[in-house]
Amino acid sequence: MIVSPSLETLDYLEVDSIVISTTTDLSPIRGLMSLIDWRMCGGVATLVKNGLMTGCVDESVLLSTQGRLRANRIFFFGWGDDKIVQQSMHSRMHWMISCLHKAKAESYAMMVPDNCPAAYKAATSILKKVGSGAYLFENISVKERIE
């Protein structure tokens, strides 16, 4: 199911995990990450500023929401440089889904990099197969390029 990336969605969406795919172009924080950062009182920006989250390939960061969001935890998965996102998209998607299964995520809402229409399309297809409990945050700029 496609959901809107908004503060209202973050406040009311009933999932145990939020999943954010990041690239190395993290600064300034924008889009859904900025909304999450707002709810997390600057916690995401602090991770980026201190170099604890870089968006590099195979990076994974797990952050507890400490009750500030309805979801209990946020997964950040690094996809690497913007220029190679398209090339590694399928392996990145499978890696993320595998990590979520290992972490016993029962329900989640996922955001893929906003510069990758193919990843958005693939995520839509994969999450339809996963079924209930899997959501994809709508990316309006990518959606317009697909349609």
Query: Per-residue pLDDT tens for 95-146?
Result: 898 999 999 999 999 998 876 777 787 788 877 777 678 888 887 554 443 3
Instruction: Please tell me the pTM assigned to this model.
Output: 0.88
- 47: domain CATH number? 3.40.220.10
How far is residue 76's CA from residue 63's CA, in Å, rounded to a whole number?
Answer: 8
Rounded to an integer, the average pLDDT of 21-43 is 90
Report pLDDT for 114. Answer: 74
Residue 8 region by backbone torsions, left for phi larger than 0, else alpha for psi between -120 and 50, else beta: alpha
Report pLDDT for 39. Answer: 95
Residue 56 has pLDDT above 60, yes or no: yes
Report pLDDT for 144. Answer: 41
Report pLDDT for 140. Answer: 55
Give the domain extent around 22.
2-146
- Give the count of domains, the chain: 1
Q: Report CA Rg, the chain.
A: 14
Residue 82 has pLDDT above 60, yes or no: yes
Q: Give me 39's structure tokens.
A: 């709810």
* Mean pLDDT value across the chain: 86
Report pLDDT for 147. Answer: 41
Rounded to an integer, the average pLDDT of 38-64 is 94
Q: How confident is the model at residue 60 (pLDDT cuts 50, 70, 90)?
A: very high
**4 against 75, higher pLDDT:** 75
